[in-house]
Amino acid sequence: MITQNIDQLHARAGTRELVEVHGTIAHSSCLRCGARYPLPEVRARQADDDRRVPRCDCGEALKPDVVLFGEYLPVDALARAEDLAAGADLMLCIGSSLEVHPVAQLPLITLAAGGKLAILTRGLTPLDGKATVRMGGDIVQDIDALLHALALTATVVTS
């Protein structure tokens, strides 16, 4: 699972292999000394500060470990995402406009490696014409329909 979301929802859902290319709100780090604190501790430090700024033991303000505008994506996360994209037989792009780069290049990596692309999102994307499957309705209903179609295909193949 490759996600641009920072909200921990995929981790909470039990995703075993998760690449968070924009980081996560699960922890914050000190820009001065590099100390890292989990979110509950960051919240406690924020509550204890008169100005409501969570601070490191060294006194520096803590920054959430998320990619902010103008910052680079974590090199390791992007490299892992590219490797997964290159090895995918099928990439499902769910709920994405496919316009935020460099992550928007991942489906192109899958296609270049011979994989297929399924896009499930409302609104147009730049890759709609390259998708084997393109669904633009309600995401939950579209995923249910896709899973049903895959189950039917699996039944036919194994019968």
Residue positions annotated with a catalytic role: 22
Locate tokens 């920072």: which residue?
6
Q: Could you give phi then psi for residue 30, rounded to 5 degrees?
A: -90, 130
